[in-house]
Structure 1
Amino acid sequence: MPHFHSHHDEGDIGKAYDSRLMKRLLSYARPFWGWMVIAIFLLLAITGTELVRPYLVKMAIDNYITAYDRPLIAVKDKIIPGREVIKFRGLELIRENYTDHQLPGERYQLIQEKGDYILIHGVIDRKGDYTVIKSGDNYTFISPEGIKFPGTKVTREELKELRKGDIKGLINTGIIYFGIISLGFFLGYLQIFILQYTGQKIIHNLRAEVFTHLQRLSLSFFDKNPVGRLVTRVTNDIETLNEMYTSVLVNLFKDIFLLSGIIIVMLRMNTRLALISFSVIPFIFISTFYFRKLAREAYRLVRVKLAKINAFLSENISGITIVQVFNREAEKNMEFERINREHLEANKKHLLVYAVFRPVIEFLQSLALALIIWYGGGKLLSGELTFGIVYAFITYINQFFHPINELTEKYNILQSAMASSERIFLLLDQKEDIKNPTNPKPLTNIKGEIEFKHVWFAYNEGEWVLKDVSFRINPGETVAIVGATGAGKTSIINLINRFYDVQKGEILIDGINIKDVKKEDLRKYIGIVLQDVFLFTGDIKSNIRLRNPKITDEEVVRAAEYVNAHKFIESLPKKYDEDVKERGATLSSGQRQLLAFARALAFNPAILVLDEATSNIDTETEILIQEALSRLIKGRTTIIIAHRLSTIQKADKIIVLHKGRIREMGTHQELLAKHGIYYNLYRLQYKEDFNGK
């Protein structure tokens, strides 16, 4: 079976975009598709508010701010529906719009001449070469053809009256503008809340799935994969996916809506100016193509160097005792400096790519603005374009380049997400070595009979750890397994719990093959006390009951009393509520071992396994445990693995393993009498007072 660690490294990034991975990522968003659709519709509405704002400003400029010189039509005694009448010097005037040139009536025009506002009778071309004659507050404008247009100066109060409609229109436009930005703010808040909520729910479910899957994998998987790397999968890699869901996936729709909307609006306002503005788009595509290629390689290099730093730090912090004992700090500093320098150089290359791309895009944006000013400004001076249109184009082109400028960040997130998702899915696709049977047999109220029948087992193919091992343990018996390091003692314990599966033979519990029952059903009847006791962060009580609500406080105390742990627990400031730090760092090895005994007893197993449980304990603590052992093993099938032969002399049966095979089996006295392997082991441990028995 392929191993997880051999397929993917921190430096591997795969494709920048993988449709297969993306499809699988989207499957996690499927339960929340309703919220995602709402977020997309909100984005569409938000985009609409962003698109309408420049157009409103354009309307304010063209229809009100710069519209003072638009012709005024005298409409005395006429009612024009929906049009406001301006009463001025006995005249009733309306502002001419683009369809009013067919309306009958005399035309007037308000123009500005050397700081004065003048109302003239008639309409003149402001770009024409007119002769101006001034007499007091009276003006005469004479066209090149000799046509005269009389006019009079307008006072400040009269100007306000004439522009009352413009002021009212500006106020209304301002109110609408404020309403739109307020709506955009509210919709933006709602959209971000929904998107972040959805993203966190997706990540919550994915993280739970990964953690649950990890707990189902066999120990062989953890033998081959560093803990640090697995923790990175559940934390950093999954968090990277959160950025993709919230920053890239849905917001990509916003970019599409915004760019499409800007193109449509600009083309509708002025096709020629729009096409001139868009002439830089091919250069954007070329720049993006090269950026994508260079950024991918630069990103890969940074990830490789970062992986080296992580590996170095993990190894050296774990082995800090050795480093300090042998005084190798300076050498390790030099080694880290080299790796750190490589990471710095990789980051500089990475930053260089981004440092070039952004200025290129900003240059193209400035070029587009220059084209608008050049062409649009010329048409503005010639009267073919209004100032409002030129302003709107400048604003839209800035909006157009905003998502393009953000492309670098989104591309980086997408690359990280693809790499992280590939590693996560590789982990999720890791098959369980130890599977539950399709039709499991019930395992209830077991007596504790254990039988090995011709068992062969190897961690690695062909390297047999156990070779044709057969033995039987009757219910309630205490059996010890001894042998040199590597003889296969711990492997037997692992096989009984079905942490691994045998390659040949079978293991029976109460006559039932353990492969035919659920792992959960099997393990709830087996209690283990290991040599290296693992305690979780929490308190004494939670470490004994392991958060099993069925185990009451009274049962916790009773278990502690049975194994002589109650006395030291009561001496702690908070007693059973005393805080336990990571791995039980604040407790002695003997205290941790006593808690392990209490934990095993609290679960009341039918089968008890002691895997060298007293090897790290001082003499005083060992005496306490030996006193408790007789009570602990009573009525239980007990398997003891021990280097100290003094702890197993009262065992009903002793099994001697040598190089994966059972070489001797019997009681303590029987094995001594054989003068075999056990006899030699016993003599080596007690050579000073050995009496030859």
Structure 2
Amino acid sequence: MSDDKQTPTAASNGQAPATVKATERPTTGRAFGPPGGIPGDKSMNFGPSAKRLLRRLRPHRTQVLGVILLAVASVGLSVLGPKILGKATDIIFAGAIGKGLPANLSKEQVIEQARASGNGRFADLLQGIDLIPGVGIDFDALRNVLLLVLGLYAGAFFLSWMQGYILNGVVQRTVFELRSEVEDKLNRLPLSYFDGAPRGELLSRVTNDIDNISTSLQQTLSQLLTSLLTVIGVVTMMFVVSPLLALIALVTIPISMVITAAIAKRSQARFVAQWRHTGALNGQIEEAFTGHELVKVFGRQKEIEASFAEKNDELYQAAFGAQFISGLIMPLMMFIGNLNYVVIAVVGGLRVASGTMSLGDVQAFIQYSRQFTQPLTQVASMANLLQSGVASAERVFEVLDAKEQVPDDATPAEVTEARGRVEFEHVAFSYDPEKPLITDLSLVAEPGQTVAIVGPTGAGKTTLVNLIMRFYELNAGRITLDGVDITELTRHDLRSRIGMVLQDTWLFGGTIRDNIMYGNLNATEEDMLAAAKATYVDRFVHSLPDGYDTVIDEEGSNVSAGEKQLLTIARAFLADPQLLILDEATSSVDTRTEVLVQRAMAALRSDRTSFVIAHRLSTIRDADLILVMENGSIVEQGNHQQLLTANGAYARLYNAQFAGAVVDIDEEAAALPTPAAAPAARP
């Protein structure tokens, strides 16, 4: 394993990031708070985060305005329904009472007779009913009223459907834009951000949290808008029908608001904790399954299971607390609504008996009271979903608000003469300001030179080449490529000139041909085959059932570690870069194959500047310049023979590796056979 921090390669070969060494990793300023993704004590700020989430709908303000207008029209038709339906009740009630009265008397005469006979309550009841004595139910009028109500509700349904259809498009486009923005943001973040970000936690933010935002917006926006308009419309109609009963019903609003606010305040922190624990659990699962082979080798299944059980229990406790507390809102709201219903029914019945209200108005008011409490109950029941969505939004906003890498120069420079000369001029760099790594480093790599970098673990070898790739910004000094400061070049221009092969290989799901062609998508089939033959990939490919069309899974489990390494080397060959960086590039291949690859590397390095990080010093004996690093400084430099003669740090490293005889690479290579024809296919 390489001892230094590893990073993604240039776009030319698509290598993946590897684990950061503890000796070089920053120890402060984690991107996501406490180590391991454990939830912090700070609760999210609900209001500003919710407003920020809603502001993302601004680009679709026209559609949002249409949704609001449709909702107003739909709710308006809905709230008119009970009032008109109350007229149908009045028609039926008047017909039922009027049919039993004498037909030869007027309504006023019937009322006078009732009072004269001591039946004043019945007289008051008749006073409030529009009837004709002796005439039953007017079915024509009843039919017209019912048809009108049916038309109102049908219109309300259609408008509501249109509102939902448009809103669905708005929400999905908004989430689509949010995903795209997060993806673009990740590409603009510096490598130091990912150093402090647990992979599973970051994946949880860009997948689970965004999906949760989508669900929350979809299920809450329409309902909240409809509920708010319904409350306004219903309250208006309630005052039209009976101001007294309306005041009684409105008493429930402050009670409901106090209860909802109190419960929401207690549950909000638990929702934040729920999603933080979800991210921590994802990180633990991703880590365990990525290294499942090592887990089994060292017999750590029980420890992994115990760690999973602990984090799973933390997630359970947070999720249970959040859902249980927020779930109390709905039953409490229903209880308040039922009390309100009972009071309205009693007071309304008394007013009908006194003749101050019609039965239809009481029926309409009872419907309105249900319509009034229903949206409040719905909003309360959505409180947990809304809080969960806003909690997820805040976690996504933390990614979007992260400090980005220094942008490219608006008027970038260009390398006029590409030769491959790299110069470090008094470079200083550290991952942690409290722990200096490279303080004052100067060196020159001439065009076509092979520069080998050796040294003990944590000396800063990989950091040196990462600075050339501009994965990190310098604290002081500068690095030039052919006389141009690399900070004056665009990152794409700089990295397109560099090919990099890391110790930790990365292959994507696809054919072997696709993985090699990733180094240069414009290369021809002949170029790909030439690169494969030069790196001895061609030798083992023909032993596979489908040759270059063999599909490799994402883990590369159907090829060996050495074969994966050869594929990444072939990818770099095909990229044909101006600068070549090899970080322990042959560490996964066997000794005999390494000798062949070293010969291929020599051909690849011809006419281009190369930086080679190596632990096996036999692989860099022919380097033009060998840099020996300790604690971020170059303590020795020269060729192999010069450094041995100096009997310093390099000689100590060399002698520690080669206590016995050393077989010369060239002699061993000469003794090996040339690549044979394609062997028979594997069984």
Report TM bin, short chain.
0.7 to 0.9
Instruction: Work out the CA distance in 1 between the residues paired with 2:521 and 2:287.
Output: 38
Q: Distance in 2 between matches of 1:547 and 1:126?
A: 100
Q: Tell me which of 421, 425, 430 is aligned to 1:458.
A: 430
1:460-504 per-residue CA deviation (whole Å, 9 max, x = no partner) reads 124333343322222122222222222221111101111112223
Query: Quick one: higher RCO (CA 8 Å, sep 6+), 1 or 2?
Result: 2
CA distance in 1, matches of 2:503, 2:184: 27
1:374 Cα deviation from its structure 2 partner: 0.5
2:129 counterpart residue number: none
1:44 to 72, 91, 107: 72
Residue type at the aligned position of 2:364: A
**1:464-503 → structure 2 map (5 Å cutoff):** 464-503=436-475
How far off is 1:250 after superposition?
5.1
Alignment of 1:384-463 (within 5 A): 384-443=356-415, 446-463=418-435
Picking from 112, 127, 140, the partner of 1:168 is: 140
CA contact (8 A) 2:337 2:370 kept: yes
After superposition, the Cα gap between the structure-2 partners of 1:455 and 1:309, relative to the gap in structure 1 and judged at 3 Å, is: closer
Superposition RMSD on alpha carbons, in Å? 3.3
Task: State the secondary structure of the residue aligned to 1:454.
Answer: strand
How many pairs were matched up? 622
How far 1:378 moved relative to its partner?
2.1
3-state SS of the aligned residue for 2:453? strand
Deviation at 1:377, TM superposition (A): 1.6
* Offset of residue 617 of structure 1: 1.0
1:555, 1:602 within 8 Å by CA — same for their partners in 2? yes
What is the CA–CA distance in structure 2 between the aligned matches of 1:342 and 1:536, rounded to whole Å? 34
- Aligned 8 A contact 2:508 2:552 in 1: yes
- Asked if structure 1 preserves the Cα contact closer than 8 Å seen for 2:204 and 2:282, the reply is no
What letter matches 1:14 in structure 2?
Answer: S
- Given the superposition, is the C-alpha separation of residues 472 and 241 from structure 1 closer, same or farther in structure 2, using an over 3 Å criterion? same
Structure 2 Cα separation of the partners of residues 13 and 125 of structure 1: 76
User: Structure 1 residues 400, 484: closer, same or farther in 2, change over 3 A?
Assistant: same
Which residue, out of 84, 87, 111, partners 2:99? 111
Give how far 1:518 is off.
1.4
SS for the counterpart of 1:463 is coil
Specify which of 48, 51, 54 is matched with residue 82 of structure 2: 54
Q: Is the 8 A contact 1:559 1:601 kept in 2?
A: yes
The question of 1:14 aligning with 2:2 is answered no
> Residue 18 of structure 1 aligns to a residue in which SS?
helix
How far, CA to CA, are the matches of 1:166 and 1:549 in structure 2? 82
Give me the whole-angstrom Cα distance separating, in 1, the residues matched to 2:270 and 2:639.
68
Match of 1:123 in 2: 107
Contact 2:44 2:272 in 1 (8 A): no
Please tell me whether Structure 1 or Structure 2 has the larger radius of gyration of its CA atoms. 1
Q: Structure 1 residue 194 and structure 2 residue 166: aligned?
A: yes
* Alignment-derived partner of residue 150 in structure 1: none
1:27 and 1:231 map into 2 onto residues whose CA distance is: 25
Tell me whether 193-202 or 429-438 shows the greater mean CA deviation.
429-438
Match of 1:284 among 256, 267, 290: 256
Residue of structure 2 in register with 1:528 after alignment: 500
1:625 to 597, 600, 603: 597
SS at match of 2:138: helix
1:12–1:304 Cα contact (<8 Å) kept: no
How far apart, in 2, do the equivalents of 1:278 and 1:126 lie?
Answer: 38
CA 459–254 in structure 1, closer or farther in 2 if over 3 Å, else same: same
**1:642 maps onto 2:614 in alignment:** yes
Change (3 A) 1:580 1:323: closer
The aligned counterpart of 2:681 is none
Q: Secondary structure at the residue paired with 2:107? A: coil
Q: Judging changes above 3 Å, is the alpha-carbon distance between structure 1 residues 259 and 486 closer, same or farther for their aligned structure 2 residues? A: same
Choose 545-554 or 435-444, whichever is displaced more: 545-554
- Tell me the distance in 1 between the aligned counterparts of 2:455 and 2:45: 54
- Percent identity over the alignment is 35
Instruction: State TM-score, norm by structure 2.
Output: 0.82
- 1:281-323 Cα shifts (integer Å, max 9, x gaps): 3322332232233333554554565566455545544554455
Assess if the C-alpha contact under 8 Å between 2:164 and 2:222 holds in 1.
no
1:56–1:206 distance in 2 versus 1, CA, 3 Å:
same
Kept in 1, the 8 Å contact 2:29–2:196? The answer is: no
Deviation at 1:259, TM superposition (A): 0.3
Q: Deviations over 1:418-462 (max 9, x none)?
A: 433333333222223444234421135521111122323222124
What amino acid does structure 2 have at the position aligned with 1:469? Answer: L
Counterparts of 1:329 and 1:603, CA distance in 2:
42
Unaligned runs of 5+ in 1: 71-109, 131-141, 146-160
Q: Aligned to 2:32, what secondary structure does the other structure show? A: helix
Q: Give the Cα separation in 1 of the matches to 2:169 and 2:320.
A: 36
| TM, length-normalised to structure 1 | 0.81
**Alignment of structure 1 residues 79-118 onto 2, 5 Å:** 110-112=98-100
In the alignment, which residue of structure 1 is the partner of 2:484? 512
Deviates more, 1:478-487 or 1:490-499: 478-487
Mean CA deviation greater in 212-221 or 121-130 = 121-130
The Cα offsets for residues 645-682 of structure 1, whole Å up to 9 and x where unpaired, read as 22222322222223332233333333333333333333
What is the SS of the residue equivalent to 1:5? coil
Match of 2:454, SS state, is strand
Whole-angstrom distance in 2 between the partners of 1:454 and 1:683? 31
Report the Cα distance in structure 1 between the residues aligned to 2:621 and 2:578, rounded to whole angstroms. Answer: 22
Q: Matches of 2:73 and 2:146 in 1, distance apart?
A: 20
Q: How does 1:573-588 map to 2 (within 5 A)?
A: 573-588=545-560
Distance across 1 between alignment mates of 2:416 and 2:366: 79
Q: 1:541-690 to 2 correspondence within 5 Å? A: 541-546=513-518, 549-690=521-662
Q: Distance in 1 between matches of 2:241 and 2:346?
A: 17
Partner of residue 87, structure 1: none
